[in-house]
Chain A
Amino acid sequence: MSDILSYPFMQRALVAAVLVGVVCSVVGTYVVLRKMAFIGAGISHSAFGGVALGYLLGLDPIGVAIPFCLATAMAIGWVSRRGRVSEDTAIGIAFASTMALGALFIGLKEGYNVDLFGYLFGSILAVSASDLWLILGLGLGVVLVVALLFKELLFVSFDEEMAAVSGLPVRALYFLLLALMALTVVVSIKIVGIILVEALLVIPAAAAHQLTRSFGRMMGLSVVIGVVSGVAGLLFSYWWDLPSGATVVLTAAVIFSVCFALSPKRRRRPALSRG
């Protein structure tokens, strides 16, 4: 164990993995409860377009992915709130077209020698020192925003209409949540990869949801599961030389299966006898 920690790349990867575990789990709690998993998939896949654009322009791929993911998230939100196109249709369009843009940008870049696989599925070697600062800054920013607006985000997640009646800015809060999801995706790309981020937005929170009926405990448990998955996944990745995204997500999936099997909830829902 100690020899692993002596590698600077591994130290950076571990710090990043802990942070990714925390941020994904915190934001994922809202994603799961608001049933926004597919939006998460749409936003995360759009990161491919951003990363590829960064390569094409010779800029930092993650730096370009930030505005790209934010713009996609806002576009999905805007189109689905307008109500003319259903939300899942809007996501379906954004999902594929941003990936197609990514493929186009990669194709336009002559003689590319990109570590595409690393971006798609994560890599423990990928976190540079400057990446780490970016991840730390964005990740802590996301957690801070959630802490500040904890009660508002809880209310709109539970009952958006009621929150609107109470005078809360529900529209702004919805777009804020989409922005938080976009930033969470960007934070996670290096470790988990574009294709697999969405799983980490869902699995830890869903596993925690199996074990508790308290919102606070769900978020807390989710963070524990997210961090354990991140760190354990990273170690598996190191030992077996596998893409870190795969090992992190599979670790989380195994934890979910255990939580699901052990769930004390029988989900006894009161009969809704309505005429």
Chain B
Amino acid sequence: MTAKTSVVKLEGVWVTYHETLALRDVDMEIEDGEFLGLIGPNGSGKTTLIRVILGLVKPDRGRVEVFGVPPDRLGARHHLIGYVPQRSQGDWSFPVSVMDVVLMGRYGRLGLFRRPGKADREAAMRALEDVQMQDFARRQLAELSGGQQQRVLIARALATEPKLLLLDEPAAGVDAYGEEKFYELLQGLKEQQGLTIVVVTHDIAVVSAYVENLACLNQTLYTHAPPSEVITAGTLEKVYGCEVELLAHGRIPHRVVEEHDGHGGHNVPGGHG
């Protein structure tokens, strides 16, 4: 633990929104190269935590450091963070091409007034290749399916050439098969580019098969450990309390094993039991 450097460090972070407590005394360290799943019930503060790391929300109390400095002091190093927001936030009828959107990932590096050049287009194209969307570069965003739009947003985040990638419910609106493909993609990116990745998700079953650690949040951080420990230790019950809806989904896995059966089928443990 001590040998690795931490990319994100939170100490005693408290956040209230309009007098509602969103985060309570959160301590957290995310190590360089970690692949972390951030889970918790609805309204548990997952998105707030991401926004704190991004510098979009200032904590009422506590310290936040990203790459050793508070996130609003990153200055020219903003591009070290890649962010994929929740799909529901986007304006999907906005008249832009896929290339336009991915190039936006380069704007922070470019600085004011300067137009993207050849090197930026190449970086954008590489990012599109990473998510296998290179054939769609000239298409308009509004013409794509939900899953394709999601991949474009990831390409945009990758085009900044980040060291830390934060994804807020990236698999929402993608079917189970697409979801597994999606996590395989993230895993590949982590291995090839040495990214630190944080994924916010509802889907404990699927994410557990891919991430190294799970962080369970419900206003405060309950645990930050490998999935096998989190799932067996009864932590989930503690975190989710009587969050019946999720339990009734039958998606809490007994044991999650990555399954491949050769012809691309998928198997979600628990299913709809």
Contacts from A to B (Cβ < 8 Å): 33, 148-152, 154-155, 157-159, 161-169, 209, 212-215, 217-218, 267, 269-275
Instruction: Using A152-B107, A166-B160, A267-B93 as known contacts, say yes or no to A274 and B87 having CB atoms under 8 A apart.
Output: yes
Contact B149 A165 (CB under 8 A): no
Considering the complex, give the chain B residue whose CB is closest to the CB of A158: B94
- Kindly list chain B residues whose C-beta atoms are within 8 Å of the C-beta of A209: 95
Instruction: Using A159-B90, A212-B95 as known contacts, say yes or no to A151 and B83 having CB atoms under 8 A apart.
Output: no
Instruction: Using A158-B94, A213-B140, A215-B96 as known contacts, say yes or no to A166 and B105 having CB atoms under 8 A apart.
Output: yes
Considering the complex, give the chain A residue whose CB is closest to the CB of B174: A273
- Kindly list chain B residues whose C-beta atoms are within 8 Å of the C-beta of A154: 96, 100, 104
- Does B2 have its Cβ within 8 Å of any Cβ on chain A? no
- Kindly list chain B residues whose C-beta atoms are within 8 Å of the C-beta of A275: 172, 202
| Contact size range, B | 35 or more
Task: Compute the total of residue contacts between A and B using a CB distance below 8 Å.
Answer: 104
Interface string of B128-156 (1 = CB under 8 A from A): 00000000000010111110010000001
Contact B173 A272 (CB under 8 A): yes
In the complex the two chains form, what is the Cα distance from A236 to B213 in whole Å?
70
- Does B101 have its Cβ within 8 Å of any Cβ on chain A? yes
Q: In the complex, how many angstroms separate the beta carbon of B198 from the nearest chain A beta carbon?
A: 14
Contact A274 B173 (CB under 8 A): yes
- Kindly list chain A residues whose C-beta atoms are within 8 Å of the C-beta of B89: 159, 161
- Kindly list chain B residues whose C-beta atoms are within 8 Å of the C-beta of A149: 112-113
Considering the complex, give the chain B residue whose CB is closest to the CB of A166: B108
Contact partner of A218 (CB less than 8 A), chosen from B95, B101, B142, is B95
* B69-96 interface (Cβ within 8 A of A): 74-76, 78-79, 81, 83, 85, 87-96
- Kindly list chain A residues whose C-beta atoms are within 8 Å of the C-beta of B115: 150-151
In the complex the two chains form, what is the Cα distance from A270 to B91 in whole Å?
12
- Kindly list chain A residues whose C-beta atoms are within 8 Å of the C-beta of B91: 33, 158-159
- Kindly list chain A residues whose C-beta atoms are within 8 Å of the C-beta of B202: 275
Instruction: Using A214-B95, A270-B92, A273-B173 as known contacts, say yes or no to A158 and B101 having CB atoms under 8 A apart.
Output: yes
- Jot down 13 A-B pairs with beta carbons below 8 A, ordered by A: A149-B113, A158-B101, A158-B104, A159-B89, A162-B156, A163-B104, A166-B108, A167-B78, A167-B79, A169-B112, A213-B143, A269-B142, A272-B87
Considering the complex, give the chain B residue whose CB is closest to the CB of A212: B95
Contacts from B to A (Cβ < 8 Å): 54-56, 74-76, 78-79, 81, 83, 85, 87-97, 100-101, 104-105, 107-108, 110, 112-113, 115-116, 140, 142-146, 149, 156, 160, 172-173, 202
- Kindly list chain B residues whose C-beta atoms are within 8 Å of the C-beta of A33: 91, 94-95
Contact partner of B56 (CB less than 8 A), chosen from A152, A159, A164, is A164
- Kindly list chain A residues whose C-beta atoms are within 8 Å of the C-beta of B110: 151
Contact A214 B140 (CB under 8 A): yes
In the complex the two chains form, what is the Cα distance from A132 to B128 in whole Å?
49
Q: In the complex, how many angstroms separate the beta carbon of A264 from the nearest chain B beta carbon?
A: 12
In the complex the two chains form, what is the Cα distance from A151 to B105 in whole Å?
11
Q: In the complex, how many angstroms separate the beta carbon of A169 from the nearest chain B beta carbon?
A: 8
Contact B172 A274 (CB under 8 A): yes
Instruction: Using A152-B107, A214-B140 as known contacts, say yes or no to A158 and B96 having CB atoms under 8 A apart.
Output: yes
Q: In the complex, how many angstroms separate the beta carbon of B20 from the nearest chain A beta carbon?
A: 15
Q: In the complex, how many angstroms separate the beta carbon of B253 from the nearest chain A beta carbon?
A: 18
- Kindly list chain B residues whose C-beta atoms are within 8 Å of the C-beta of A164: 56
Contact B140 A271 (CB under 8 A): no
Considering the complex, give the chain B residue whose CB is closest to the CB of A271: B146
Q: In the complex, how many angstroms separate the beta carbon of B193 from the nearest chain A beta carbon?
A: 19
Q: In the complex, how many angstroms separate the beta carbon of B69 from the nearest chain A beta carbon?
A: 13
- Kindly list chain A residues whose C-beta atoms are within 8 Å of the C-beta of B156: 162
Nearest 3 pairs between A and B by C-beta?
Answer: A167-B78, A166-B108, A213-B140
Contact B146 A162 (CB under 8 A): no
